[in-house]
Amino acid sequence: MMFQILCAVLSATSLFLTLLVYYSLKRITMYEEIILQINDKIEYVNAQLKLIDEKGTFQADDEVGFFFQELKEIGKLLDNLFEEVEDASSKEEEKKEE
């Protein structure tokens, strides 16, 4: 009798934890996609600003140059936010080369 109660409690706990992990990963993936979209938009805006300011006159200006500089910094922060995913085979090749 005690074994059945213990199994039921452990089953309920494992089911709860599995659902918790599933929904957490789903939410993290959603936030990651949003951040990547923001990063893509910032890169696009930065490219368009560089295209508009071919001579660099706006970028050299103090007030507008501040905007250019801050946009670059935000892009760098978002680029460094996610780590590069490496294959296990590439890690093994690096170890063999050493």
> By C-alpha distance, which of 74, 77, 82, 80 is closest to 46?
74
d(CA 90, CA 1): 53
Residue 47 belongs to a domain:
yes
Residue 92 covered by a domain? no
Spatial separation of the C-alpha atoms in residues 67 and 71, rounded to whole Å: 6
Of all residues in the chain, the percent with pLDDT exceeding 70 is: 74
Domain range for residue 63? Answer: 23-80
Note whether residue 69 is domain-resident: yes
Helix 62-81 vs helix 2-52: crossing angle, to nearest 10: 150
Is residue 12 a part of any domain in this protein?
A: no
- Banded model confidence at residue 90, pLDDT cuts 50, 70, 90: low
What is the domain count for the chain? 1
The pTM for the full model equals 0.56
Contact 25, 75 (CB under 8 A): no
pLDDT tens by residue, 10-42 = 999 999 999 999 999 999 999 989 888 888 888
